[in-house]
Amino acid sequence: KKTVDPKDDSSQKVVQLETAMGAAIECFKGATAIVVPRTRFAPVKKCNDLLLLRSDAYLLENNKPVLNPACGGNAPEMSLDSKKYKLVGALEEATVGGIPSLVRCTKLKVSGLVRMGKGTKFVGDVEIVNNSDEAKFVPA
């Protein structure tokens, strides 16, 4: 379930239906599907994905994002507070001081409002909880 206006939690609730591309492809004569491994693309559906892609956990090679080999073949598991980081603007505010390092992070869970900077480095499994209404800065 979502709201009609993603910027307004009080707007009318709706159910979004998505049709699988595989079902639609049969409408085109001669069309085929191919499987593209995640090593060839980095999907961005949520702010979790965008933060990860912007971080040093990914590198650009020939204008394509690829997982940094220093991650050991696994991208960090990301979980940003879905109520606080629902829209890109909130992520922009959280990272106004720069994108933190995630290359040595295995799991990052953020609950509440935080601010991070370019010098902030997350290592291993990290959980940050801020129960106040005021954003807290994660130091470098």
Per-residue pLDDT tens digits of the chain, which is 140 residues long? 678 787 788 888 877 666 666 677 777 888 777 777 666 667 788 999 999 999 999 998 888 888 999 999 899 999 999 999 999 999 999 999 999 999 999 999 999 999 999 999 999 999 999 999 999 999 88
Look at residue 2 in the predicted model and tell me its pLDDT.
77
Distance CA 130, CA 16 (A): 31
Look at residue 126 in the predicted model and tell me its pLDDT.
97
List, by residue number, the catalytic residues.
Answer: 45
- Identify which of 101, 87, 89, 93 has the alpha carbon closest to the alpha carbon of residue 59: 101
What value, to the nearest 5°, has the Cα angle with vertex 61 and ends 34 and 48?
A: 75
Distance CA 13, CA 3 (A): 4
Whole-structure pTM value: 0.76
Look at residue 21 in the predicted model and tell me its pLDDT.
64
